[in-house]
Amino acid sequence: MRAPNLPMTGALLALLALGGCKVGPNYKAPIMPAPPEYSDNGHNGDWAAATPADQTDRGAWWAVYNDAELNNLEQRCAMANQDIEAALHAYEQAHDLVRETHASLYPTVSIGVSAIRNQGSRNDPLASPTSKLNYWDFLIPLDISWEPDLWGGIRRQIESSAASAQASAADLANTRLSLQGMLAVTYFQLHGLDLQAQLLRATLDDYTQMLQLTLDRKKQGLDSDIDIEQAKAQLEETRAQLIDLGVQRAQYEHAIAVLVGTPATGFHIAERPLAGDPPTVPTGIPSQLLERRPDIAAAERRVAAANALIGVAKSTYFPTLTLGASGGTDSDLPSKLLSPASTEWSVGPSINETIFDAGRRRAQVAYALAQRKQATALYREQVLSAFRDVEDQLAALRVLEDEATVTARAVDAAKKSTALSTLRYKRGLAAYLEVLTNQTIELNDERSAAALISRRIVASTQLQMALGGGWSSTQLPKN
């Protein structure tokens, strides 16, 4: 009888393992209907929808603000922020886990070497007068073990690990987007305070002149000490407001230092008042949001990972086949280790099937199914939250623009009222209290207008974040 061709048999088993069936459901992404357009998209001409074929590079989304200092800070954040660094290493771990799981498809081969000194018992009932009781045993063992993936359990585990690695890559992108967005928001808030400080300094000059006018009128007997003290109180209160801005500005500055990976000590950003309207940001259509948001991509990939684990759990219902071979050389003398007469080997398959486990495998499958349902629910919730984020910022931009228009009219009216009351005061037709009241109204309106400039630009930044910045799901690694 002809001996079987072991290499050919091994090749056939390898083809069977690599091309065998995969139990468990094949993955289909959860269906999440998207509205045809955003509710607030048509209320403001500046926020027009982009065409799906828009090829504009929005990777450096902050560049739309044309601020060289912000561009530099964003690059420093991407390179030196420790949270981004940690997220990067988390992705590397997930990618390495894919490689580790993939290695399970192939045989394990181990080789060793040993030298053992033996001393036998002369009273051993199996010993003979000619037995050699004191001897060396030199071995070079070789072991090969392989469990063919007949039911696809390992391949499903690879699918799950690969999807988890992609989710980790999306987490990295989301961390980068969140931190760089936070940097832009904090940066604009800081320079918004610079605008407030500029306004208060100009107001202090006006109030100082007003105090001097009141002092001069007091000398002429036209004003009282009450008017002097009211003017002083107004001046000092405004000076206190200016000082208070310094605390907030320092905190924003320190926050930016941490975001760019720099100690807060000695970190400084030059004062520059914020100005201008927010830039145009194309929103696209809602269905594109599912591809642009890294947090949505991460949630969807986790659904895929959970789906593959169902197959892993179901594969345990089937028998496992293990192909094993061991061999090597064994001799009492090192010089004879490589002799053909010292060779020994054994080879053979083993099949194992669990016939009773008290419902353990059934529980594992049920657990995997529940995991997929949970991941699907979290994915859908993430999509709904993303639509809400975009709508929130579109509504904020629309409302804040209307508010800015109304506030600008209020500032204009307050300036005219202050100018008229000041003229009446100089001519002796009005008391100083009238001037004081109008100046207070004017300052409050001007500070509201200045705050709106910051709030509108911050809202545009938050809209960019809500839209996913310049990210796209096509950037996910293929693993």
DSSP string, 317-363: TS-EEEEEEEEEEEESSGGGTTSGGGEEEEEEEEEE-----TTHHHH
Percent of the chain with pLDDT strictly greater than 90: 70
Note whether 374 and 401 are same-domain residues: yes
Note whether 192 and 335 are same-domain residues: no
pLDDT at residue number 327? 87
Residue 40 belongs to some domain of the structure: yes
What does the DSSP 8-state code read for residue 129? T
Q: Band of the pLDDT at 12, cuts 50, 70, 90?
A: low
Note whether 164 and 257 are same-domain residues: yes
Domain containing 327: what range?
Answer: 112-148+319-352
Q: Band of the pLDDT at 22, cuts 50, 70, 90?
A: confident
Does pLDDT of 478 surpass 90?
Answer: no
- 353-368 confidence digits (pLDDT tens): 999 999 999 999 999 9
Residue 171 belongs to some domain of the structure: yes
Residue 9 belongs to some domain of the structure: no
Question: Which residue type sits at 479?
Answer: N
Would you call 302 helix, strand, or coil by DSSP? helix
Note whether 419 and 290 are same-domain residues: yes
Is the Cβ–Cβ distance between 383 and 29 less than 8 Å?
Answer: no
Note whether 310 and 365 are same-domain residues: yes
Residue 186 belongs to some domain of the structure: yes
Does pLDDT of 265 surpass 70?
Answer: yes
Mean pLDDT computed over 105-126: 86
- 368-397 confidence digits (pLDDT tens): 999 999 999 999 999 999 999 999 999 999
Does pLDDT of 55 surpass 50?
Answer: no
Euclidean distance between the first and final Cα of the chain, in Å? Answer: 48
**Could you tell me which of 309, 301, 308 has the C-alpha nearest to residue 379?**
301
Pick the residue with more confidence: 47 or 445?
445
Note whether 215 and 295 are same-domain residues: yes
H-helix or E-strand containing 446?
helix 432-466
**Could you tell me which of 374, 396, 376 has the C-alpha nearest to residue 466?**
396
pLDDT at residue number 465? 95
Q: Band of the pLDDT at 4, cuts 50, 70, 90?
A: very low
Q: Alpha-carbon torsion 335, 336, 337, 338, what sign? A: positive
Residue 4 belongs to some domain of the structure: no
- 294-311 confidence digits (pLDDT tens): 999 999 999 999 999 999
pLDDT at residue number 39? 86
Tell me whether residue 11 is exposed, middle or buried, using C-beta atoms within 10 angstroms of its C-beta: 0 to 12, 13 to 18, 19 or more.
exposed
Is the Cβ–Cβ distance between 296 and 289 less than 8 Å?
Answer: yes
Does pLDDT of 35 surpass 50?
Answer: yes
Question: Which residue type sits at 116?
Answer: I
Note whether 271 and 133 are same-domain residues: no
Residue 8 belongs to some domain of the structure: no
Q: CA geometry: angle at 140 spanning 138 and 141, to 5°?
A: 125
Note whether 184 and 120 are same-domain residues: no
Note whether 311 and 380 are same-domain residues: yes
Quickly list DSSP for 397-429. HHHHHHHHHHHHHHHHHHHHHHHHHHHHHHTTS
Burial of 228-246, coded b for 16+ CB within 10 Å and e otherwise, reads: bebbeebbeebbebbeeee
Note whether 310 and 324 are same-domain residues: no
pLDDT at residue number 16? 53
How many independent structural domains does the chain possess? 2
Mean pLDDT computed over 396-413: 96
Mean pLDDT of all residues in the chain?
89
Residue 254 belongs to some domain of the structure: yes
Task: Determine phi and psi for 61, rounding to 5 degrees.
Answer: -65, -25
Q: Band of the pLDDT at 342, cuts 50, 70, 90?
A: confident
Residue 57 belongs to some domain of the structure: yes
Q: Band of the pLDDT at 7, cuts 50, 70, 90?
A: low
Pick the last residue of a domain from 330, 352, 374.
352
Mean pLDDT computed over 416-423: 95
pLDDT at residue number 11? 53
Mean pLDDT computed over 408-412: 97
Note whether 190 and 324 are same-domain residues: no
Q: Where are the alpha helices (DSSP H) in 220-350?
A: 225-259, 289-292, 294-315
Question: Which residue type sits at 231?
Answer: A
Pick the residue with more confidence: 22 or 198?
198
Would you call 266 helix, strand, or coil by DSSP? coil
Note whether 143 and 155 are same-domain residues: no
Q: Band of the pLDDT at 118, cuts 50, 70, 90?
A: confident
The label of the residue with tokens 């994915």 reads: 379
CATH label of the domain that carries residue 121: 2.20.200.10
Structure-block tokens of residue 330: 């064994």
pLDDT at residue number 47? 35
CATH label of the domain that carries residue 227: 1.20.1600.10
Mean pLDDT computed over 154-162: 95
